[in-house]
Structure 1
Amino acid sequence: MLFKRFLLLMPMLLSALLVIATDTDVSKYGAVADSTTLNTAAIQKAIDDCNKTGGGKVYFPAGRFLSGTIELKDNVTLHFRKGAVLLGSIDLKDYRNLDPFTEGLGIDVGWALVVAVDANNIGLEGEGRIDGQGAALKAKHIITDTRPEGQRWGLRPFLVRIVRCTRVTVKDVTLNYAGAWTSHYFQSKNINIENVKIVSVGVAHNDGIGIDGCQDVRITNCDVVSGDDALVFKTTSSTMACKNITVTGLRLKSNQAGIKMGTESMANFEDIRISGCHIYDTKNGGIKLLTVDGARIRNVEISDITMDEVRTPMLFRLGSRLSVFRKANDTKQTTGTFENVVIRNVKAKASADAQLKPPSGILITGVPGHYITNLTLENIDISIAGGGNRGDARHAVPEAIDQYPEVKTFGPLIPAYGIWARHVKGLKLKNIQFTLAANDQRPAFVCEDGQEIQLDHWNIPATSGAEAVIRLENVQGAVVKNITAAGNGAALVKVEGVNSARVQLSKSNAKGFNKQLEIETAVITGSGE
């Protein structure tokens, strides 16, 4: 009886033995680390065999392994030993596009050096690096492709693409010099990105870490120096939100934004926590949260952030561009929503050399009929150059309802040096402090078309000659209290617009102003001090 049972179990035991994880080395498959031999087939064979025998690790020993597109498979981790380099080919014909789509500027993209599609339990790890040779690849590309750069760049490969995968680990590796985006994670779940170093500059569109419609994501202790947005959340499809994401301990430098949500924004961004990050030397925004293609941004908290030499520290935008990026699968959506976002404990030094002249600290704007709702900014300290005059304080900002959402979209200047807000509801601004390097006659705060606005415990630097330190235009319901403002001017708070009502000012400490609260005669009744 026991023997018969053993015979019955033998096939199962043999099957189990066949799927035991098997580690291997790419050099055993003929890969040559000489920087010139194209190793695509050899590396792919090592991955395929590892996958077929149950998975495991595919090792890259020290050396420079040239390759085109390689595809990760289930249960396979690429391990780069110290001194190992996976080197991207500079010939475009060596790359494949396994998941084509159109990005936010309307360019067809998707080619990649390392790609995984519908795979489970995969990873990249080790002390080595992946180098896309982006600048050299571009130099070769433009010899034969004479179209404008804005049209041709999409053919160049991403460095890493993870598409509809589950249980993904990217740990300890260095990612360098992509031909386009550096790392793009699309509609994937259970992602852990840890101790990754990215230096990817030299060509346009070198985003660092791109999270596109992914869920259950953890990103910790990474260094990113990128030619485009350093950490960016996108939703290029309406079918899967960015959700349940935690980010801590990142150091971010960028020629664009440090932390960004959008512009591609079809599905929601929700339940996202970002904390303990340092943003420095960014050329186009520190924190930018943008929904313009129908997404809902909600339940997002960003805290304990420091910024140094950042052009325009924050931009929050709800717009109606309403683009579609995967046209075979998606249709145009209606305007989204922006609600229940908290930004707290931010200390920033804004760059004097900014997109806006003179610079401004924070821009917040919806569009007519669509309000940014319940946004809270708390414990915010911004040092800024100043230099605005009374004429600047009355500059009209374009609505740009359907335009690409950038700081420059609302330029060339903003009528407030500190915070400018338009089309907002339930805006709470607590414990706000500004430092100016030069006198600025623009208000510290301007709100246009607002409802239920709260300003509490502001410390406003000394300025002279301003028409108002705080200006409220067509604001229904505002509580302004515990304001400390040095210097002199016409009014501490000025209320304008026929739709303004119910404005309260209390507990202010600002003795150098002709009036504490000035209300235009055109304002409807109901305002008071």
Structure 2
Amino acid sequence: MKKICSILILSMVVLWQSCANKTGFNVKNYGAVGDGATINTQAIQKAVDECHSKGGGTVIIPEGVYISGTLYMKDNVNLHLEERAILKGSASFSDYPDNKVKYINSFTHPPGKEFGCKALIFAEGVRNVSVTGKGTIDGNGDNPAFQLGNDSSPESRKRPCMLLFIDSKNIKVHGLHLRNSAYWLQNYLGCDTLHLKGLNIYNHTNFNQDAMDIDANNVLVEDCNIDADDDGICLKSHDPNRIVENVTVRNCTIATNCNAVKFGTKSDGGFRNINISNCFIKKASEDNMRKWQENLKFIELPTTVISGIALESVDGGMVDNVTVSDITMQDVQTPIFVIMGRRNAGQAGNQDFYNSEKNGLEPSLKVGRVSNLTLRNITAISHSKMTSSISAVQGYYVENVTLENIKISTMGDGTKAEADAPLPEYAGSYPENRMYGFVYPSSGLFLRHIKNVTLKNIDLSVRKEDFRPSVILDDVHKISIDNLMAAPPAGNQPIFKIINSTAIDLSNTKTGTNPLAVLAGTDKKEVTGNHDR
């Protein structure tokens, strides 16, 4: 029996070696040189093409530094970087040709703008592709050739993404070190079935260095360690006829100078069936250009995250059936930021504006829909006066929201004048926590234009004396609040400020000796429940 097992194991090893020889395409055999100087685009592409032509397999990049321009992925090819292998982007724009993309969307075909869709690794319409290994892909984004500022200029929009996959299916990117992109690091547009796992991302040398931008369906992002200057995990929706749906993000650490988890800003079709869980959010390890404490008011730390969770629908798309759970945040300005609105007609990226202008019509500024949000088991420490908020453009409502087991420690330091100052309505500006100004009139939570809300087990504390109410409800209808604890505002100010709202049920709310609420445009009969005042 032992002899039979030995023969069987030997046969399996021989079979594995045979398969490896059949499917392994080492780029050195095609003329690639890992000396950090030779341009290897043609050699690596030859390996990819032959691998594809023979039915697929693995293209191996061994130890060394391989400089390359655009590589075109093909069906059934795994580009595998071995440990100590570095694929580094060329510093010459001539090594990144413009790509004519068939899939029309607002990223590849932005109205009124030129965009070359350049990338270090590019694919459109491919199936069953992967980029894997323990090696490193370096986009060379710190090179002077790519230091072109923000992407508001045509020249800057010509920078290559590191990975750009369009209208492709069954994509895996696993285990790699990804760093120093010249533009967006990963960009998946109109894709289906995407798995990002075990990625170590470090991105701090240029503008627009999002760690991952995902416009795809059936997505799993897990076990990734992100440290980026721009947004961390960013869901985008560039096609009004296509909803980004069935996305799971779990077990990730996200360090950023911008937003950690963000939906948008581009939100044409929208987002549905999204689950974000078990993530740790913190400040980036370096800040070379944001300098929020210097450029904004009332920021407590030199380096901060803008918003931990930013859910935005401002281009007519939906946000529906979203669960965010088991999240720990530190170093954030605003833990939770949700906005349903519409951008101004002239706002960059407003597709309706360009379509209407082209046809000589007034722009039709469509408002999307945000509903069925559940945020639970979230702990956060914030360092600004920009409170967590959920709001909509006036005349519309976010619907069906549950906040449960939320614990937020805020900076505090709000004055009586700041407590009394009304927060401006959303006016179509770029959606960011500071779009209303640098101070909100509540210290913990601001809710405006919402229907059907549940708050359960909410703990809001402040670290400095604060005169602002803990919670403001403005045009909120049918809300149940059970077991809310809040630090009593200074000056014996009320815990709640309730404006033009109805059907408010307060149970087990602890206010100490402070008044429970001040009402404005709200009948006191609308406030019911078992509370201590």
Q: Do both proteins adopt the same fold according to a TM-score greater than 0.5, normalized to the shorter chain?
A: yes
Q: CA–CA distance in 2 between the matches of 1:103 and 1:495?
A: 47
Q: CA–CA distance in 2 between the matches of 1:84 and 1:332?
A: 51
Q: CA–CA distance in 2 between the matches of 1:74 and 1:332?
A: 41
Match of 1:117 among 104, 121, 124: 124
- Aligned partner of 1:513 in structure 2 is none
Does the 8 A contact of 2:444 with 2:461 survive in 1? no
Match of 1:340 among 372, 384, 405: 372
Find the residue that maps to 2:434 and give its secondary structure.
Answer: helix
Letter matched to residue 415 of structure 2: N
Q: CA–CA distance in 1 between the matches of 2:110 and 2:325?
A: 29
1:300 matched to 2:322: yes
Q: CA–CA distance in 2 between the matches of 1:315 and 1:129?
A: 34
Aligned residue pairs: how many? 476
Match of 1:316 among 338, 343, 361: 338
- Aligned partner of 1:404 in structure 2 is 430
Q: CA–CA distance in 1 between the matches of 2:22 and 2:127?
A: 14
Letter matched to residue 200 of structure 1: N
- Partner deviation per Cα, 1:327-373 (whole Å, 9 max, x = no partner): 79x9966211000010000011112xx3xxxx244111101111111
Identity %: 30
- Aligned partner of 2:140 in structure 1 is 133
Letter matched to residue 412 of structure 2: G
- Aligned partner of 2:269 in structure 1 is 267
Bigger mean CA deviation after superposition, 125-134 or 97-106: 97-106
- Aligned partner of 1:204 in structure 2 is 207
1:496 matched to 2:520: yes
Deviating 4+ runs (over 6 angstroms) = 103-107, 330-333
Letter matched to residue 391 of structure 2: T
Find the residue that maps to 1:101 and give its secondary structure.
Answer: coil
Alpha carbons of structure 1 residues 148 and 372: separation in structure 2 relative to 1, 3 Å: closer
Bigger mean CA deviation after superposition, 390-399 or 339-348: 390-399
Alpha carbons of structure 1 residues 194 and 368: separation in structure 2 relative to 1, 3 Å: same
Q: CA–CA distance in 1 between the matches of 2:388 and 2:364?
A: 30
Match of 2:152 among 127, 150, 169: 150
Q: CA–CA distance in 1 between the matches of 2:165 and 2:408?
A: 37
Does the 8 A contact of 2:127 with 2:170 survive in 1? yes
- In the TM superposition, residue 422 of structure 1 has moved relative to its aligned partner by 1.1
- In the TM superposition, residue 150 of structure 1 has moved relative to its aligned partner by 3.4
- In the TM superposition, residue 504 of structure 1 has moved relative to its aligned partner by 2.1
Alpha carbons of structure 1 residues 149 and 262: separation in structure 2 relative to 1, 3 Å: closer
Letter matched to residue 26 of structure 1: V
Letter matched to residue 410 of structure 1: Y
Q: TM-score, normalised by structure 1?
A: 0.85
- Partner deviation per Cα, 1:134-193 (whole Å, 9 max, x = no partner): 111xx2345xx7x98731321111111111111111111111010111111111111111
Letter matched to residue 507 of structure 1: N
Q: CA–CA distance in 2 between the matches of 1:103 and 1:434?
A: 43
Q: CA–CA distance in 2 between the matches of 1:204 and 1:339?
A: 33
Match of 1:189 among 169, 185, 192: 192
- Partner deviation per Cα, 1:472-491 (whole Å, 9 max, x = no partner): 000022111210123x44x2
Listed as ranges, the matches of 1:153-302 within 5 Å are 153-212=156-215, 214-281=216-283, 282-302=304-324
Q: CA RMSD in A?
A: 2.4
Q: CA–CA distance in 2 between the matches of 1:406 and 1:289?
A: 10
Find the residue that maps to 2:416 and give its secondary structure.
Answer: coil
Does the 8 A contact of 2:25 with 2:59 survive in 1? yes
Does the 8 A contact of 2:58 with 2:80 survive in 1? yes
Q: CA–CA distance in 1 between the matches of 2:202 and 2:364?
A: 36
Does the 8 A contact of 2:69 with 2:89 survive in 1? yes
- Aligned partner of 2:292 in structure 1 is none
Does the 8 A contact of 2:146 with 2:182 survive in 1? no
Alpha carbons of structure 1 residues 294 and 308: separation in structure 2 relative to 1, 3 Å: same
- In the TM superposition, residue 218 of structure 1 has moved relative to its aligned partner by 0.9
Unaligned runs of at least 5 residues, structure 1: 1-19, 510-515, 517-529
- In the TM superposition, residue 124 of structure 1 has moved relative to its aligned partner by 0.5
Q: CA–CA distance in 1 between the matches of 2:164 and 2:422?
A: 42
1:506 matched to 2:529: yes
Q: CA–CA distance in 1 between the matches of 2:145 and 2:251?
A: 37
Letter matched to residue 284 of structure 1: I
Bigger mean CA deviation after superposition, 393-402 or 278-287: 393-402
Listed as ranges, the matches of 1:435-446 within 5 Å are 435-446=461-472
- Aligned partner of 1:15 in structure 2 is none
1:374 matched to 2:406: no
Q: CA–CA distance in 2 between the matches of 1:253 and 1:452?
A: 36
- In the TM superposition, residue 426 of structure 1 has moved relative to its aligned partner by 1.0
- Aligned partner of 1:417 in structure 2 is 443
Q: CA–CA distance in 2 between the matches of 1:500 and 1:107?
A: 55
Find the residue that maps to 2:220 and give its secondary structure.
Answer: strand
Alpha carbons of structure 1 residues 194 and 461: separation in structure 2 relative to 1, 3 Å: same
Letter matched to residue 494 of structure 1: V
Q: CA–CA distance in 2 between the matches of 1:374 and 1:44?
A: 51
Q: CA–CA distance in 1 between the matches of 2:46 and 2:364?
A: 42
Letter matched to residue 506 of structure 1: G
Alpha carbons of structure 1 residues 318 and 21: separation in structure 2 relative to 1, 3 Å: farther
Unaligned runs of at least 5 residues, structure 2: 1-20, 102-106, 284-303
Q: TM-score, normalised by structure 2?
A: 0.85
Q: CA–CA distance in 1 between the matches of 2:390 and 2:200?
A: 32
